[in-house]
């Protein structure tokens, strides 16, 4: 039986075997939610980049450059890390280079060994679930966390995904067991529960409650986002 | 208001400030539960030791030597890591040197910076809670985990302790919020829930269900165990 595990932080990734697995990268507030929003708005490809300088260099190649640090748009960048900003603009056929505090690091650390890299977000969780169910691979859900620490929103997404995969997957990893239970006992009040999270509070201080609402909306979109080569795009089944 | 945080693994400890905090070391299966059992059985002091060789060298100083690796008694040691073995023997006035896979590492990593080190176990959780409430310090609960990974039993203890401290402490650390909820929604079936844990299964394979039952019993003892100098002993209030 296939196995699903959850790695709670990129700092713990060395303890897990990534080889030939489906890795689901999770950075709910806001990198992975924003990637899905961008793709839904017509963006054809997103290149995740580790650092701000490299990201900037994509501008002359015709990319829109998106840079976020500590929850704010980085100076000199066209876009920050707000999903709503993508929904409001015109991005049909555009390509984006994106760097974020936590999310892009998680992608960089796994992309060479993994069988495939999926972008995990509440807004397309059922599509991601279906994609995984149709593969014959073990799954590692990798929470981007916040500067190495456990965070509530990525953990709850992981629990939700484990819960959906549960009938068909072995979940004998302790973090998968814990987060499945955490999600199931809080799913009726997800918004309220995540509202306690340190990251949600940081975002509220930046006045972007709309972003939070968007990031916690379930199944707004019905497509999977997959890293292919160096670019994230919509997967056509 | 004082603050309580939970560090899910010694591998994440560098992300936390230990300085001048009360650190509660948690290794429910079985190091910290066994330490409490040993003290309850008349042992006057426990020296936690990082490695098997150093631990052995305590024998000629008159210590009982206890060594465990991967859930088994290490070759050449008098005691392993079973709490029940202490309850059954005669240990009045004895001193012990102890090394374990995960628990002693957690102590070693924090003992110099922390204000004080407490030994956390379900069997004396209320005494530990009272001790903490009477101090004026922030608290860091440090889960020993299993070889660096998150584990269910240490996490549930952490959640239980956060839950008990909650009215008097700020719990704005995401792992504290998550584990408090995890404990509260599973406290009515703790044994059953922890039975799913990878570590509990490992112990069951070693035929030591009695140890598991012991480790999950709440408030069997009403004393606090504190590291003083290099030795863990019962704290006299």
How high is the ipTM of this complex? 0.93
- Which residue in this structure is represented by tokens 């080569």? A229
Of residues B233 and B202, more confidently modeled: B233
Cis peptide before A61 (omega within 30 of 0): no
Q: Does A17 touch chain B (CB under 8 A)?
A: no
Q: What is the pLDDT of residue A200?
A: 73
Helix, strand, or coil here: B87?
Answer: helix
Q: Which residues contact A226 (CB under 8 A, 6 or more apart)?
A: A116, A117, A118, A119, A131, A232, A233, A234, A235
Q: Does B149 touch chain A (CB under 8 A)?
A: yes
**pLDDT for residue B156 is more than 80:** yes
Please report the sign of the dihedral spanned by the C-alpha atoms of residue B226, residue B228, residue B230, residue B233.
Answer: negative
Q: Does B193 touch chain A (CB under 8 A)?
A: yes
Q: Report DSSP state, residue B149.
A: B
Q: Does A233 touch chain B (CB under 8 A)?
A: no
Give me the helix-helix angle, B103-110 and B31-40, nearest 10°.
Answer: 90
Please give the backbone phi and psi of residue A194, each rounded to the nearest 5 degrees, phi first.
-70, -25
**pLDDT for residue B103 is more than 90:** no
**Chain A residue closest in CA terms to B6:** A150
Q: What is the pLDDT of residue A72?
A: 84
Distance of CA A3 to the CA centre of its chain: 20
Instruction: Calculate how close chain A gets to B83, using CA atoms only, in Å.
Output: 23
**Best B7, B174, B200 residue to mutate vs chain A (most A CBs within 10 Å):** B174
**pLDDT for residue A39 is more than 90:** yes
* Alpha-carbon span B50 to B103, nearest angstrom: 9
Q: Which residues of B touch A15 (CB under 8 A)?
A: 11, 147-149
For chain A, first and last CA: distance in Å? 23
Of A80, A92, A91, the C-alpha closest to A31 is A80
User: Do β-strands B45-48 and B72-73 pair in parallel, antiparallel, or remain unpaired?
Assistant: unpaired
Instruction: Calculate how close chain A gets to B45, using CA atoms only, in Å.
Output: 33
- Residue B105: pLDDT band (50, 70, 90) is confident
pLDDT tens readout for residues B23-70 = 999 999 999 999 999 999 999 999 999 999 999 999 999 999 999 888
Percent of chain A with pLDDT over 70: 98
Q: Does B163 touch chain A (CB under 8 A)?
A: no
Task: State mean pLDDT over B128-144.
Answer: 96
Buried b (16+ CB within 10 A) or exposed e, B182-217: bbebbeeebeebbebbebbeebeeeebeebbebbbe
Q: What is the pLDDT of residue B100?
A: 86
Q: What is the pLDDT of residue B71?
A: 78
Q: What is the pLDDT of residue B37?
A: 97
* Alpha-carbon span A5 to A12, nearest angstrom: 12
Please give the backbone phi and psi of residue A154, each rounded to the nearest 5 degrees, phi first.
-70, -35
Of residues B205 and B53, more confidently modeled: B53
* Alpha-carbon span B30 to B8, nearest angstrom: 17
Q: What is the pLDDT of residue B180?
A: 97
**Chain B residue closest in CA terms to A186:** B181
Instruction: Calculate how close chain A gets to B64, using CA atoms only, in Å.
Output: 33
A82 by Cβ neighbours in 10 Å (0-12 / 13-18 / 19+) ranks as buried
pLDDT tens readout for residues A103-162 = 888 898 899 999 999 999 999 999 999 999 999 999 999 999 988 999 999 999 999 999
Distance of CA A41 to the CA centre of its chain: 17
Please give the backbone phi and psi of residue A212, each rounded to the nearest 5 degrees, phi first.
-60, -50
User: Please, what CATH class does the domain formed by A4-228 belong to?
Assistant: alpha beta
**pLDDT for residue A207 is more than 70:** no
**pLDDT for residue A69 is more than 90:** no
- Which residue in this structure is represented by tokens 């409430």? B133
Could you state, in order of their start, the residue ranges of all structural domains in chain A? 4-228
A92 by Cβ neighbours in 10 Å (0-12 / 13-18 / 19+) ranks as exposed
Task: State mean pLDDT over A15-38.
Answer: 96
pLDDT tens readout for residues B65-94 = 999 888 788 999 999 999 999 998 889 999
Helix, strand, or coil here: B225?
Answer: strand
What is the helix (H) or strand (E) element at residue B96, kind and residue range? strand B95-99
**Chain B residue closest in CA terms to A8:** B150
Q: Which residues of B touch A172 (CB under 8 A)?
A: 196, 198, 201
* Alpha-carbon span A187 to B98, nearest angstrom: 43
Q: Are A180 and A86 in contact (CB under 8 A)?
A: no
pLDDT tens readout for residues B9-26 = 999 999 999 999 999 999
HEC secondary structure over chain A = CCEEEEECCHHHHHHCCCCCCEEEEECCCCHHHHHHHHHHCCCCEEEECCCHHHHHHCHHHCCEEEEEECCEECCCCCECCCHHHHHHCCCCCCEEEEECCCHHHHHHHHCCCCCEEEEECHHHHHHHHHHHHCCCCCEEEEECCECCECCHHHHHHHHHHHHHHHHHCECCCHHHHHHHHHHHHHHHHHHHHHCCCHHHHHHHHCCCHHHHHHHCCCCCCCCEEEEECCEEEEECC
Nearest to B12 among A9, A152, A155 (CB): A9
Q: Are A234 and A225 in contact (CB under 8 A)?
A: yes
* Alpha-carbon span B235 to B218, nearest angstrom: 19
Q: Does B101 touch chain A (CB under 8 A)?
A: no
Contact call for A199 and B174, based on CB within 8 A? yes
Q: Which residues of B touch A10 (CB under 8 A)?
A: none
Of B142, B135, B90, B152, the C-alpha closest to B119 is B142
Q: Which residues contact B218 (CB under 8 A, 6 or more apart)?
A: B122, B123, B125, B126
Tokens of B40: 């309850």
Contact call for B11 and A11, based on CB within 8 A? yes
Please report the sign of the dihedral spanned by the C-alpha atoms of residue A29, residue A33, residue A35, residue A37.
Answer: negative
Alpha helical stretches, state H, B173-232: 174-186, 190-194, 198-205, 209-215
């Amino acid at each position: 039986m296939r196995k699903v595990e959850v790695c709670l932080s990129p700092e713990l990734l060395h303890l897990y075997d990534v080889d030939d697995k489906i890795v689901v990268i999770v950075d709910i507030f806001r990198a992975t939610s924003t990637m899905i929003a961008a793709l839904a708005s017509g963006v054809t490809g997103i290149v995740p980049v580790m650092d701000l300088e490299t990201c900037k260099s994509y501008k002359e190649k015709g990319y829109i450059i998106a840079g976020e640090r500590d929850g704010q748009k980085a100076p000199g960048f066209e876009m920050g890390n707000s999903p709503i900003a993508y929904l409001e603009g015109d991005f049909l056929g555009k390509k984006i280079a994106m760097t974020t505090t936590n999310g892009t690091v998680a992608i960089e650390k796994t992309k060479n060994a993994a069988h495939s890299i999926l972008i995990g977000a509440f807004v397309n969780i059922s599509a991601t679930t279906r994609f995984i169910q149709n593969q014959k691979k073990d799954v590692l859900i990798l929470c981007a966390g916040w500067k190495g620490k456990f965070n509530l929103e990525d953990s709850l997404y992981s629990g939700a995904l484990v819960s959906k995969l549960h009938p068909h997957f072995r979940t004998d990893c302790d973090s998968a067991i814990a987060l499945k239970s955490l999600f199931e006992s809080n799913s009726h009040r997800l918004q309220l529960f995540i509202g306690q999270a340190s990251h949600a509070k940081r975002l509220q201080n930046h006045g972007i409650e709309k972003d939070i609402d968007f990031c916690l909306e379930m199944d707004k979109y019905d497509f999977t986002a997959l890293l292919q080569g160096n670019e994230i795009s919509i997967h056509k089944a």
